[in-house]
Structure 1
């Protein structure tokens, strides 16, 4: 599945000819994206092995299940930050094409980290950080879409799916059609990683966001 999406995105973006040099950018971004900050933070704070808590996911939502809000916030910022940093560094050093490749690399690194035997998170925070760095307006619009969906439906996974699928539309409307291929590829991966959530949404068993007193 992933190789097919990579091929579609590269051909549609016109990056195939530069693939040899961009492969190095992708590899470096992948290694950065693969750093499991949620796992590192919870272990450092003595909160246990995050993979054995709640859903077993390494993202900020599951870190919050430890009861440590600070750890969850730090995970959210670092997971989104690694995508943004990869994009910004690649753009500054090699240009816009490399920025998109770096965003893809960091995102796949988070989903399939070599450090954890390729068992990573669902990628929402890294996706948003990557998008904010690629195009701040589209990133903000996508974040706002997540917020509106979360307030309307009170389901985190549904908000993630709605916002991810909206990103390509926002990029197109904001005059960045050359980035829509990447956005579609990342959204497809987010949908794939949320397939268990989608099954629960269909049968009505997906948990809602709760308001704590």
Structure 2
């Protein structure tokens, strides 16, 4: 019973929209109605600058990180840890508090990877930074990091449940970025 409560609480944590809260607290426009319309750190940067984006990024990562760390502290088994990780991620994408319309999940998925294993989080973020340094395109960096996350998970954690979970998370991240992929292929992504 406690395991399912952890999964529900992880989803609820994921459902807290850092972008909307940060924009409201800083007197900025609602990110769902401005810029790209996506309640995530990249759109918050367009609307309110680097400080607002950094706070949003940290909030989105923490809501993935904390539920996983709590589950690990309670020494749940791998299937439950995988469910907690997935629930926090899905909460960000489909938040109950905001009409089930959330962000794309990059920062929250990073927080989840960091919670599972710091080396996994370092590999994913290192990939993002390396690709960004070369290409200067945030969405491309996120796509490459997401595509490599299942491989990193198997290499570092060697857990079939977590590898399957991160394979699903990565597939969803790629799907959520389909418009970015189309713009990248057309050479139109900023």
Q: 2-side partners of 1:169 and 1:124: how far apart?
A: 17
- CA offsets 1:51-91 (integer angstroms, 9 cap, x no match): 12210111111111123322111111110001000101112
2:180 to 197, 200, 204: 197
Mark the CA change 1:93 to 1:175 in structure 2 (over 3 Å): closer, same or farther: closer
Aligned residues of 2:180 and 2:189 also touching (Cα < 8 A): yes
The TM-score normalised by the length of structure 2 is 0.93
Aligned residues of 2:3 and 2:76 also touching (Cα < 8 A): no
Aligned residues of 1:50 and 1:63 also touching (Cα < 8 A): yes
- 1:118 lines up with 2:118 in the alignment: no
Q: 2-side partners of 1:67 and 1:36: how far apart?
A: 16
Which one has a bigger Cα radius of gyration? 1
The answer for the alignment partner of 1:185 in structure 2 is 168
- CA offsets 1:161-209 (integer angstroms, 9 cap, x no match): 10011111112222423221111011011011101111111222111xx
RMSD: 1.4
The answer for the alignment partner of 1:84 in structure 2 is 65
Any gaps of 5 or more consecutive residues in structure 2?
A: none
Aligned residues of 1:150 and 1:156 also touching (Cα < 8 A): yes
Aligned residues of 1:131 and 1:139 also touching (Cα < 8 A): yes
The answer for the alignment partner of 1:152 in structure 2 is 134
Give the superposition deviation at 1:95.
1.6
1:139 to 121, 134, 150: 121
The TM-score normalised by the length of structure 1 is 0.83
The answer for the alignment partner of 1:24 in structure 2 is 5
Which consecutive aligned stretches of 4+ in structure 1 deviate over 3 angstroms post-superposition? 20-23
**Aligned residue-pair number:** 188
